[in-house]
Structure 1
Amino acid sequence: MKLQDTVDLMLGTDFKDRFKAEYYQLDNRITGLQNMLDKYKAGTLEFTPNCTYEMLYEQLVYMELYRVILEERAKIENIEL
C-alpha cells in the first residue's frame, strides 16, 4: 500500500481506520528505509546521507519495534491489519 492510499483511512472518524493508516504508513516507511540501507551498504545509493549508516539502522530497529507494538495493539483492539 502506498502512502497516498492511506489518506482516506487517516482522515476518517473511526479510530480503527486511523490505526490501520498509521500501521500501513509505518510499514511503508520501514520498507523504504530498509531499501535505502541496502543501497547504502552496497554503495549504490543515489545520494550521500549526512547521517551514518549506524544511525539510520538504529532508526529502522526502533521503527520495527514500533510496528510490533502496533501489531500487538491491533490484536487487543480487534483490528484486522
Structure 2
Amino acid sequence: METENLKLEDTIEMMCSNDYKERFKAEYWQLKIRYERLISFLKKWDAGELPFSPDCKRELYNIQICGMRQYLTILERRAEIENIDLTFKNSDTEDAYEMW
C-alpha cells in the first residue's frame, strides 16, 4: 500500500489521542510514511536522479531500511495480537489506507 498522498501531519489527531490504539496507529503510519519516502529516495539515488550527493554511504541507508521494515513488522504483529485495526481513514479526503 503506497502512502504517497498521506502526510505526517495527517496523523496528528491520532498521535494526540487519549486512546492508546489511536496513538499506536499514528506510530505505525508515521513510520510507514517515512519508510516509503526513504525507499523512494533510495530508488532515485540508485537511478542517479538525486540533485545532490548524500554524505552517508548507501550501506548505512540499507541498514536503516532493514531496521524500519523490522519495526513495521513488529507493529503489524502487535496490532494483530492486540486487535488494533491499522486502517487509516483520512477525514479530510475520505481516503482509506490499509497496511501492506
Q: Normalised by the shorter chain, which TM-score bucket?
A: over 0.9
Task: State how far apart, in whole Å, the 2-side matches of 1:34 and 1:17 are.
Answer: 26
SS at match of 2:29: helix
SS at match of 1:30: helix
Equivalent residue number for residue 50 of structure 1? 55
Within 5 Å, which residues of 2 pair with 1:33-72?
33-72=38-77
How many pairs were matched up? 81
Residue 12 of structure 1 and its aligned partner are, at CA, apart by 0.7
Structure 2 alignment gaps of length 5 or more: 1-5, 87-100
Task: State how far apart, in whole Å, the 1-side matches of 2:48 and 2:68 are.
Answer: 23
Residue 46 of structure 1 and its aligned partner are, at CA, apart by 1.9
The CA RMSD measured in Å over matched residues stands at 0.7
Among the aligned pairs, what percent are the same residue? Answer: 48
Task: State how far apart, in whole Å, the 1-side matches of 2:43 and 2:62 are.
Answer: 10
Is it true that 1:7 corresponds to 2:18 in the alignment? Answer: no
Task: State how far apart, in whole Å, the 1-side matches of 2:15 and 2:36 are.
Answer: 20
Give the TM-score of the pair, scaled to structure 1.
0.96
Task: State how far apart, in whole Å, the 2-side matches of 1:53 and 1:31 are.
Answer: 16
Moved more, 43-52 or 32-41: 43-52
Q: Deviations over 1:42-77 (max 9, x none)?
A: 111122111111101110011001000000000111
Task: State how far apart, in whole Å, the 2-side matches of 1:59 and 1:8 are.
Answer: 27
Task: State how far apart, in whole Å, the 2-side matches of 1:52 and 1:16 are.
Answer: 37
